[in-house]
Amino acid sequence: MDAADATEYVEHRAMSLSAAEFELLCESVLTESLPPARFSVTAFRQDGGIDLDGRVSNPLLDVSLGVQAKQYDPSNTVGSPAIQRFQGALADTGCDTGTVITTSSFTTPAAESAERAGIHLVNGSALFESMVDLRVGVRRGGGQFEPDEGFWNLFGETDETSTVPSKRIPLANSFETLDAVLSAIGDTRGTKDDIVSSAGVSPRHADLYAGAGWILGFVHQEWPDEETHRQRRWSLTRSGARYIAYRTAGLNAEAEPLLLDGIRNAEIIERLAHPLSESESFGHSELVDFVESESELSRSSAKRRASSVGVWLARLPEVSVENGRGKRYVWNGN
């Protein structure tokens, strides 16, 4: 593909994303465009509000930035009322400046309102051209561009195999460590070094618990690019940001349902729920057998991961654990 074809390609892929995934895409583009900056999705969605917040901080500059991402059809232009609502949201949150990114375009009154308010506007053409320039969603090889399927597969990734990939089976059995790692991802640019430094965990645990957050739907990952030597980064999804906001505020009654939903939606737990409810209980050795049969893991690896799966199961109110001659997971749900 030449640059024009690559621009059309990233536009097509961006428009196929969900609204939440499009926000994560914008977060990726912004972070790549401003390497010293940190951007993340905001915890709560509000009409006219901030979808992404960020901070550009270096020895010469310290600016907080609010971003609104609008995934619109090209015929649906952004008007001045939307800019005015966004200006109010910036004032309410104390952001120094703001940017509105859209896949469409802006009306002339909207552009005039933004100029008066000091708000930067990014239309679809500028967004998609920037993606190509920054190699977000495409790679450069042999003088031409080619799709970066590894990047796009991170959005709504599905696996065609009948087995559960090992990366979708948790190897993380401490929810306290999970919370610390998620908080570190939210507070930093989300590289492994950032997580290790902020959460006080080992590099191995940084990967394992960030991966657990991904299984729960709390974390989005960005794989490194060998050409540009980018590190893999992790960033919070909106549900992850909301979960950590609740935990940080001590609102555990609000945070817990988000965690339970994430556990229930984990592929290995979804597959396990039906046979467990049918048999009414599983011994731990049966759980190991199940994990091994539903994946391509070796027996030893299945044992290690089954321990974490058991911890996740035990967190669910519909499952209880009996410790007699051997551990059993008992289904108490309807």
**Domain spans of the chain?**
3-152, 167-265, 267-334
Average pLDDT of the residues of the chain: 90
- Quick one: pLDDT at residue 161? 56
3-state class of 63 per DSSP?
strand
328: its two tokens: 């059993």
- CA 276 to CA 282: how far, in whole Å? 6
Would you say the C-alpha torsion 226, 227, 228, 229 has a positive or negative sign? positive
> What's phi and psi for 82, nearest 5 deg?
-65, -40
Residue 201: which residues within 8 A CB-CB, separation 6 or more? 177, 180, 181, 195, 209
72 falls in which pLDDT band (50, 70, 90)? Answer: very high
3-state class of 68 per DSSP?
strand
Range 184-197 average pLDDT: 93
221 falls in which pLDDT band (50, 70, 90)? Answer: confident
- Quick one: pLDDT at residue 47? 59
The answer to whether the 3-152 and 267-334 domains have the same CATH topology is: no
- CA 99 to CA 83: how far, in whole Å? 10
- Quick one: pLDDT at residue 228? 57
- CA 183 to CA 201: how far, in whole Å? 12
Range 46-62 average pLDDT: 81
Q: Could you confirm whether domain 3-152 is CATH 3.30.2320.50?
A: no
- CA 216 to CA 208: how far, in whole Å? 12
CATH number of 267-334: 1.10.10
Tally of CA atoms within 13 A in the half-sphere of 301 that contains its CB: 12
Q: Considering only CA atoms, which of 193, 240, 186 is closest in space to residue 212?
A: 240
- Quick one: pLDDT at residue 12? 95
Q: Could you confirm whether domain 167-265 is CATH 1.10.10.10?
A: yes
7: its two tokens: 């621009």
Which residues are 55's β-sheet partners? Answer: 38, 64
Range 231-254 average pLDDT: 93
What is the per-residue pLDDT across 87-114, written as a single tens digit (0 to 9) for each?
999 998 889 999 999 999 999 999 999 9
